[in-house]
Amino acid sequence: MNKIDFPQFFFKIDEALSQNEDCLIKYLRQMSLIILSIPMFFLLIGIELLISKSRHLPYYRFNDTITNLSCGVGSQVSGLLIKVLTLGGYYFIYNYSPCKGRIPTEWWMWVLLFVAVDFFYYWFHRLAHEVSVLWGSHVVHHQSEEYNLTVALRQAWFQGAFSWVFYLPLAFVGFEPKVFLTVVSINTLYQFWIHTRLIGKMHPAIEYVFNTPSHHRVHHGVNPKYIDRNHGGTFIIYDRMFGTFQEEEEEVVYGITSQPRSWNPLWLNFEYWIDLFKEVASVRSWKNKLKMLLMQPGWKPAELGGTQPYKAITTQEFKKYNTTISAGLSYYVFFQYILLIVGTSAFLFTETKPPFNQNLLLKFSAIGLVVLTVVSMGGMFEHKRWVMPLEYLRFALLIGFIFALQVPVAVLITTSVVAVVSIGWFSFYLGEFKTA
């Protein structure tokens, strides 16, 4: 039997999908509303930040904000690795559906699909809170102990590997992939603005039908009465229908019941699953092992002490996880983050064009550099020793990557100068990493 070359296997599928004129993947790269909205996201974040500062409201912390953005950046690039599953799966079901091409692209179809997408999103979102193993695919979004627009961008890197299954009935019914993708993007974009504390309760009619900042603040709360409530995306009516609605009453305490106490986005995406499977391995009964995966997060058999009730908490009692770094190192992180956002945005806009669509190694290298960067930034906030060699390695790999792209000499020289200046700048703060 011939061995399967999995990297080449992935590349061939990816290439075939990208070249298919009717393919969802091709449409995603051309019309993705999420990617095109990145500048607007940062504009609105900047406005919210300025308003918060002008009113002396402590809604932003630098380390938390950077970690939120790091999770978002990582989610975008990791999505490229699982797009064959998440997007190709929908296209595959649609392509073999007996209903293919039978739904007209009339205005009512868009409205119907929008309501249906939000319905299936509700059920994925709810089960992601109520099924322990699925919670690991979503928990990252709730780990921030602040609540601002950057939290909307704090997405788990592998959530798409689970959520796509919930939308497959829409493919089978015959909703076109490109229309489905557009509607899902609009549904996701709607949820950006509700991650704010600057907007109070709105008109009762709006609050009754739509998901609002007030409703979604409840969803992010660890107050016992708020946990696992208000799962809707655009609409709140499904929560009212299925008994998961909760009005915003007492002040919300943000975060999760078990704080991860880290700024490292890579660790934040795996920490819950690692702890869960360690505990599962320690349990003797196979029945209890399965229940720990499928029951509500936090469920434990008697041999592990049983399920602990949620503790009442107030904002005065809750101690947020925090670390401090010098002002100079903070400016360094900020500068590197600007470079990261610019570089990642350029990559996302061009990853289906030469040379990335012709060289799988280059595509993986770009993704790897993004991950290394966000991990290094997180390590800086925690004064980790391994940041020192990692940062030097990162710039060496960056120069090699730019050289491999065969860009104009001016770009290579500019990148090299930025790398040398950055290394020199970073070297001033090595003392901050020798004791942790």
**pLDDT single digits (tens) 56-82:** 999 999 999 999 999 999 999 998 888
Cα–Cα distance, 15 to 9 (Å, whole number): 10
Read off the pTM: 0.91
Dihedral class, residue 161 (left if φ above 0, else alpha if ψ from -120 to 50, else beta): alpha
pLDDT of residue 4: 41
Going by the DSSP 8-state scheme, the letter that residue 175 receives in this structure is -
Cα–Cα distance, 272 to 278 (Å, whole number): 10
Cα–Cα distance, 405 to 409 (Å, whole number): 11
H or E segment at 105? none
- What are the backbone angles phi and psi of residue 254, rounded to the nearest 5°? -95, 150
pLDDT tens across 328-356, in order? 999 999 999 999 999 999 999 888 889 99
Collapsing DSSP states into helix, strand and coil, what is residue 135?
A: helix
Residue 30 identity (one-letter amino acid)? Q
pLDDT of residue 126: 98
Cα–Cα distance, 11 to 28 (Å, whole number): 18
Per the CB < 8 A criterion, the answer to whether 75 and 132 are in contact is no
Per the CB < 8 A criterion, the answer to whether 230 and 211 are in contact is yes
- Each domain of the chain, given as residue ranges in start order, spans 22-322, 327-433
CA neighbours closer than 13 Å in the CB half-sphere of residue 232: 30
pLDDT of residue 30: 45
Task: Using a pLDDT cut of 90, give the percent of the chain over it.
Answer: 82
Going by the DSSP 8-state scheme, the letter that residue 210 receives in this structure is B
Per the CB < 8 A criterion, the answer to whether 147 and 194 are in contact is no
In this model, does residue 19 exceed pLDDT 80? no
| Partner residues linked to 277 by β-bridges | none
Task: Using a pLDDT cut of 70, give the percent of the chain over it.
Answer: 92
Among candidates 365, 317, 366, which has minimal Cα distance to 340? 366
Number of H helices, E strands in the chain: 22, 0
Cis peptide before 355 (omega within 30 of 0): yes
Cα–Cα distance, 111 to 120 (Å, whole number): 15
In this model, does residue 131 exceed pLDDT 90? yes
Cα–Cα distance, 196 to 60 (Å, whole number): 11
How crowded is residue 184: how many other Cβ atoms within 10 Å of its Cβ? 24
Cα–Cα distance, 423 to 426 (Å, whole number): 5
Q: H helices of 20-147, where?
A: 24-31, 33-36, 38-54, 62-81, 83-86, 88-95, 107-130, 132-135
Per the CB < 8 A criterion, the answer to whether 372 and 394 are in contact is yes
In this model, does residue 12 exceed pLDDT 70? no
Residue 425 identity (one-letter amino acid)? W
In this model, does residue 112 exceed pLDDT 90? yes
Cα–Cα distance, 132 to 194 (Å, whole number): 26
In this model, does residue 26 exceed pLDDT 60? no
pLDDT of residue 36: 79
pLDDT tens across 377-399, in order? 999 999 999 999 999 999 999 99
